[in-house]
Amino acid sequence: MKRLIAFICAIAVAVIFPFSAAAKSVSSSEHGVEIDFPDDYIVLTTGNLSKNGEFVESIGHSKESLRKAMNNGNIIFYAANQNNTKQLHVKSWTTDFSERIGELSGLGDESREATLQSIKNILVSDGHQVLFSNIFSHDNCLYLKLAVFVDGDNPFCYIQYITVTGGSFYSLVYYNAHGYLTVTEQKEADAVLSKMRIIAKSDGGGIGAVTVIEIVLILALIVAALVVMFLIIRSFIMDILGKRVEPEVIPDRIKIKRK
């Protein structure tokens, strides 16, 4: 019985701390973004550059120059693999245009196509070559996806996913270090985007809808575990009390003999 109770307690602990072994996830309540990055990427924010000074220098930056680049580029998360051959940037910014649109998913088909064409025109004017583009939905948001080739002394490609929601732009950009995109790289970029979630921005004390659901589920599991523990302990106590009272059957009546 003691082993069984200990086992139930272990289950209760696992229920209370269900995410202790979960994959690494980073979030920004200020910008309302959550995302999971691949394990082989080092994730930088403007707040942890000092802790990752050696890596920052290894990718050709100082803490000050990278902080400035992130602020100027509206970069929330700057992730790179160990040899800096691939990078992932999560960005968010607000303009009069994004505030006017509000939600990209709210635009009609013609307006969506016009927005995509406007972005293409900007990129082409910078001398970049758009390899392909499309429009798709993810996590209740409409995204524009563009694959771009950038020529020069060190040519590279990138895939950019961009949406407008809540009156702000949100973007994930995947960069490589060569002048072509492999199928594997495209799948890796798509996989990271699939782990990106745009949540309600923090108002200083609010809780997002997803968080509320998670809390309710956790509390329900805790209650269920406690009920099971109560029933087991109650049964154990009843067994002990039962041993202290033995019925003796005699004709026409039951006599209780107490020890």
225-257 confidence digits (pLDDT tens): 666 666 667 666 666 656 555 554 444 444 445
Domain C-terminal end among 201, 218, 233: 201
3-class DSSP string for the chain: CHHHHHHHHHHHHHHHCCCCCCCCCEEECCCCEEECCCCCEEEECCCCCHHHHHHHHHCCCCHHHHHHHHHHCCEEEEEEECCCCCEEEEEEECCHHHHHHCCHHHCCHHHHHHHHHHHHHHHHHCCCEEEEEEEEEECCEEEEEEEEEECCCCCEEEEEEEEEECCEEEEEEEECCCCCCCHHHHHHHHHHHHCEEECCCCCCCCCCHHHHHHHHHHHHHHHHHHHHHHHHHHHHHHHHHHHCEEEEEECCEEEEEEC
Model pTM above 0.75? no
pLDDT of residue 114: 87
Q: Per-residue confidence at 2, pLDDT binned at 50, 70, 90? A: very low
- Whether residue 170 sits in one domain with residue 53: yes
- Pair 231, 163 in one domain: no
> Is residue 133 located within the same domain as residue 249?
no
Q: Which domain holds residue 228?
A: 2-11+210-258
Domain count of the fold of the chain: 2
Domain assignment present for residue 16? The answer is no
* pLDDT confidence of residue 17: 41
pLDDT in tens, 96-107: 989 998 999 888
**Of 152, 168, 201, the domain-final residue:** 201
